């Protein structure tokens, strides 16, 4: 082994030992990572759209804010289920199944009754949705998105960043599942 590769080996072993000593990434940390990745995506996408269509800034910001509120609501729902109905959170069937957990009207009513913050988020969602739906500039914004934005290099970079961040979360989830199965045997 060459001497130059020793620092890399030491670094890799240090990371491995830190993981063993400190524990693996928790599911809550993984949830936060995917949630932050989705937030970052919405914010950066809105910035990109505004650079191409500054005259549509109001609609773009309404859409961004609506998406961010819905992400906040999903986070609140996830936290609620962790405490009250954790079996609904399925971590072993992939990222999509995990972040798109089942949510019932009964769950929603219970969370509304127990959280004024959730009620505020829902009110904000309703207000933003009302401003968003039927906006006179939607057709123009869709056309700009399809003809310019989704084919742009900047969009492709943003999309790849989101996909890479979510793929990292998924890989950690898979590794943890593999470790859990190995530990069970």
Percent of the chain's residues with pLDDT above 90: 70
The pLDDT assigned to 119 comes to 97
Q: Which residues contact 108 (CB under 8 A, 6 or more apart)?
A: 77
Average of per-residue pLDDT values in the chain: 86
Residues 88-116 pLDDT 10s? 998 888 888 888 999 999 999 999 999 99
Q: Say yes or no to pLDDT of 4 above 70.
A: no
Radius of gyration of the chain (CA): 21
Burial of 20 (0-12, 13-18, 19+ CB in 10 A): exposed
The residue ranges of every structural domain in the chain are: 27-174
The pLDDT assigned to 24 comes to 53
Query: Bigger pLDDT: 34 or 26?
Result: 34
To the question of pTM greater than 0.85 for the whole model, the response is no
Percent of the chain's residues with pLDDT above 70: 84
Mean pLDDT of 15-43: 73
């Amino acid at each position: 082994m060459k001497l130059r590769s020793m620092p890399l080996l030491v670094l890799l072993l240090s990371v491995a030992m830190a993981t063993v000593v400190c524990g693996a990434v928790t599911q809550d940390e993984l949830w936060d990572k995917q949630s932050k990745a989705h937030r970052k995506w919405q914010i950066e996408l809105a910035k990109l759209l505004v650079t191409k269509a500054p005259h549509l800034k109001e609609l773009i910001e309404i859409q961004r804010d609506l998406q961010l509120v819905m992400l906040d609501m999903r986070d609140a729902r996830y936290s609620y289920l962790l405490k009250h109905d954790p079996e609904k959170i399925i971590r072993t069937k992939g990222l999509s199944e995990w972040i798109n957990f089942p949510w019932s009207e009964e769950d929603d009513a219970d969370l509304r009754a127990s959280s004024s913050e959730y009620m505020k988020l829902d009110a904000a969602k309703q207000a933003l949705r009302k401003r968003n739906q039927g906006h006179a500039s939607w057709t123009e914004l869709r056309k700009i998105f399809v003809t310019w934005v989704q084919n742009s290099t900047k969009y492709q970079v943003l999309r790849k960043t989101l996909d890479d961040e979510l793929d990292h979360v998924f890989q950690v989830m898979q590794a943890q599942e593999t470790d859990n199965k190995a530990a069970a045997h």
